[in-house]
Each structure stands twice: as C-alpha cells, then as structure tokens.
Amino acid sequence: MNMLNTVTQFLLAHPLIFATIKILIVFNVMSAVLMYIVYMERKVLAFMQARLGPMRVGPWGVLQALADPIKLMLKEDIVPAGADKALFLLAPVISVAAAFTVFSAIPFTSSFIISDINIGILFILAVSSLGIYGIILGGWASNSHYPLLGALRSAAQLVSYEVAGGMAIVGVLLISNSLSLRDIVLKQQQMGVWNVFIQPVGFFIYLVAAIAETNRSPFDLPEAESELTAGFHTEYSGFRFSLFFMAEYTAMILVSCIAVTLFWGGWLRPFSSIHALDFLDYTPVIVFLAAAVAIVLGARKNPVPMEKVVLFAIAAAFVLLGMALAIPVVAAAISGIFWFSAKVFIFLYAFIWYRGTFPRYRYDQLMNLGWRVMIPLGLANVIVTAALSYYLTHQAVSAAAPVMMGR
C-alpha cells in the first residue's frame, strides 16, 4: 500500500510520464489500425467490384496487412539524381509528423485524451494544415513534372477547402461556446442531441471539405493516376513512399475522429439520454459474439488445418472477450472507446464507399464546387446559426427576466 502511494505520488509529480504512455498507446494503436484500413479498403473495393481482393497471405488475406509494410521497408530507397536531397528526404516526415501530432488533442473518451487544450480545435486546424508542406515540398523536391503538377494542384485544393471546412466548424463552435473538443462533446451530452441534427448543412460541408483535404476520391486530383501517374509521390519508393501512404490514411482517420467529435457526439452512446434504449450498452458483447460466429462459419470451409486451428482459437478468444464485456464494470470502462471507434469506422467505410462509387471530379469542377458552392454555403450557415443562437439565447433571457423581477 505504501509503495502504491509512492508510485502514485511519483506519477502525479511527473505528469509527462502519463502523457508519454498515452502517446505510445495512441501511436501504436493507430499504426495497427492504419495497416488494417488498407486491408479493409482493398477488400471492400474488391467486393464492390465483384472481386475477392487479397486472398493469399493468411486466411482471407488477413496477413496481407503485415506483409505489405515489410515489403515496403525492404525495398530500395531511391533519391532521383536531380532532386533537392534534403527536402526530398524531409517531405514525407513532415506529412506523417503533422498527421500524428493532431491526435494529441482528440478526446477518445471523456478521460482518455492526451492533452485537453482549451484551443483544441484551433490546434487541430493549425497542425493539420502543416501536412500540406509534405506534399508541396515532396512534389517540388522530386524535380520532375508530374509530382510538381500534383503538388500545385494539392496546394490550391487544400487552401480552398480549408476555408470551407473552417466555416463548417464555426457553426459547431457557435453552439458549443468552447474551443475545447472535450467541452464540445460534453455540450452535446448536455443538450441530449448530436450536433449533426442541429448543423446538418455544416456537417455536409465538413464532410466534403474533409474528403477534399485528405485527397481522397472523388477529389483525388493531386494523385490522379490517369493524368499524373501518381502525383506528388511519383518519385518516391520504398519506406518513404509508405510514409506518404501512412500520412494519407492517418489523415483519413483524423478527419473521421474530428467529424465524430464535432458532429456525432464523440464517445457518447447513440440515444444515451433515452433510458428505454439502455440495452444498447450490450452492443460490444453482441459485436464480439457475432464476429466469433462469423469466424467459425468461415473457418469450417478452410482447407489449411493450421489456419483452421488458429481461427477457432481466435473465435474462442472473441467469445471470452465478449463475455468479459458483459461484466458491468468492464462494459462501463469500454463503452466510450467502443462507440467512438464504431463511429469512426462508419466514416472510414464511407470514405472507401465514395471511392468505389463516385467518378473523379475535373479540376475546374473541383474549384467551382469549393469556391462557388461550399464557401458561400458555409458563410450562410455561420450567419444563420449565429443569428438563431443569438435570438434563442436572447429570447430565453427576456422570457426569464419578468420571472426574475417577480411578476
């Protein structure tokens, strides 16, 4: 007991240790998630196009996600002869560092947040706007035509859509009265309704801007294969290419996290204010049990005996995990992070879905959409929201005033 006290006091005296542990957790979990998002993307796209996708490495190609990074790391790292070497080497690092740094302000649950900054959302906007330097400098330093064109397109696209995205966020800030992401979620809890229902237009603008800022299809013009080979990272190979790849997918997770926090109630359970729907608390249990059943059903047909055994073991582990989640204490502890990740995965799935279904925009269409539709719409949204929230608070005050005067 005494020793426990000493340890607690030591940790309290050195708050950086807690932060470092949290950073390590977030970084490692995100890296693992990243690998499997690539797998998920390949699989989902394949199913949408009536293919099977990766099938060779492991059962259903599950280990492909591990094989690809290893392959990329072992590949030769080529620096083009005419490249600006220092910048060429620096560019992918900037992209990845900027993308990962932003997670330090994301509230994964009400208590798991690396740093609850009082200007959280501004910090996120600031740091995520640095990622573009990776793209621009990488494109320029390659000293090659397609990368330069890709970098220029990217610069124009990001600067344009950052404005629209910022406008969409202002609407939420007007409602929440705070720049801290944790407070924004708590405000949604307090109101009992997610911001997406109050700010549907803002949410739509943010979604479009987020897709454009992450260079995802249908706005993937900076790396349009049919026009620019691979855009800004054409000259990159091996590990440096994989850094750009990581940065793109991290940015995807990131905008999903921000969208969930700002508009979809962060870590809150759906309908958390309605007690008749409290059985939703058992969703994690059901999800794990269903996954176990799915694995067992699929594994029965697996021809490789070794894989079969491993799959049955995983299914058993999932059943145990599901049962553990049924314990109220564990369920309460896991609820926040479960709902947060579930919502984030809905967004990630949507990103892949858009890629599978929408044709790529033409460059002038993209710019027209950004400047002539999204930004005016965003401005209108801000003005209407500001006027309404002013009117409503004013009305509340004037309605309350006679009561206070004792009428």
- Give me the least distance between CB of 136 and other proteins, in Å please: 5
- Give me the least distance between CB of 9 and other proteins, in Å please: 21
Closest Cα to residue 214, out of 83, 95, 303? 95
Closer to other proteins by CB, 99 or 348: give it: 99
- Give me the least distance between CB of 202 and other proteins, in Å please: 19
Check residue 107 and report its DSSP letter.
Answer: -
- Give me the least distance between CB of 88 and other proteins, in Å please: 12
Closer to other proteins by CB, 84 or 227: give it: 84
- Give me the least distance between CB of 251 and other proteins, in Å please: 14
Residues within the interface to other proteins (CB under 8 A): 84, 87, 117-119, 122-123, 125-127, 129-130, 132-133, 136-137, 140, 148, 151-152, 155-156, 158-159, 162, 179
Residues 6+ positions from 102 with CB-CB distance below 8 Å: 123, 124, 127, 128, 254
Using CA atoms, how far residue 73 sits from 161, 243, 255, 280, 300, in Å, is 33, 10, 27, 43, 35
- Give me the least distance between CB of 155 and other proteins, in Å please: 5
Closer to other proteins by CB, 91 or 196: give it: 91
* CB neighbourhood size of 42 (10 A): 18
Closer to other proteins by CB, 131 or 266: give it: 131
Closer to other proteins by CB, 34 or 137: give it: 137
Residue 59: cis peptide before it, omega within 30 degrees of 0: no
Ranges assigned E (strand) in 208-346: none
> Are 166 and 116 within 8 A, CB to CB?
no
Using CA atoms, how far residue 207 sits from 33, 74, 252, in Å, is 21, 36, 11
Residue 66 burial class via C-beta count within 10 angstroms: exposed 0-12, middle 13-18, buried 19 and up: middle
Using CA atoms, how far residue 66 sits from 33, 36, 72, 272, 386, in Å, is 11, 9, 10, 37, 49
Closer to other proteins by CB, 46 or 156: give it: 156
- Give me the least distance between CB of 395 and other proteins, in Å please: 21
Closer to other proteins by CB, 206 or 340: give it: 206
- Give me the least distance between CB of 156 and other proteins, in Å please: 7
Closer to other proteins by CB, 129 or 229: give it: 129
Distance separating alpha carbons of residues 392 and 39, to the nearest angstrom: 48
Distance separating alpha carbons of residues 270 and 272, to the nearest angstrom: 5
